[in-house]
């Protein structure tokens, strides 16, 4: 009979390095959230006619803001 086991690779990162990675990830998330909020705020400020001229329906604003913030990751 054969058994399979999963093992994890030992973590070679120090605690400080892991904390720095966590800080960097948090900073990136906060920057992305700022882009999302700014994009959504600017689009919501437009009139329905202005949005229509851009080919955007008001219900699409959250999706467009998410694309602007999270799909263009450097």
Domain that holds residue 42: 15-70
d(CA 43, CA 67): 13
pLDDT tens digits, residue range 23-68?
Answer: 999 999 999 999 999 999 999 999 999 999 999 999 999 999 999 9
Percent helix, strand, coil in the chain (nearest 5)? Answer: 65, 0, 35
CA distance 41 to 19: 33
d(Cα 14, Cα 21) in Å, to the nearest integer?
11
pTM of the model: 0.73
Residue 53 forms part of a structural domain: yes
Structure tokens at 64: 């467009």
Q: Look at residue 7 and tell me if it is in a domain.
A: no
Q: How many domains does the chain have?
A: 1
Q: What is the pLDDT of residue 40?
A: 98
Question: How far is the CA of 57 from the CAs of 37, 42, 67, 72, in angstroms?
Answer: 18, 14, 15, 22
Per-residue pLDDT at 72 exceeds 70: no
């Amino acid at each position: 009979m054969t058994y399979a086991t999963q093992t994890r690779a030992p973590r070679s990162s120090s605690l400080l390095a892991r904390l720095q990675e966590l800080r960097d990830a948090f900073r990136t998330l906060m920057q992305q959230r700022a882009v999302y909020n700014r994009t959504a705020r600017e689009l919501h400020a437009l009139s329905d006619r202005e949005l229509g001229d851009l080919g955007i329906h008001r219900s699409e604003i959250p999706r467009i803001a998410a694309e602007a913030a999270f799909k263009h990751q450097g």
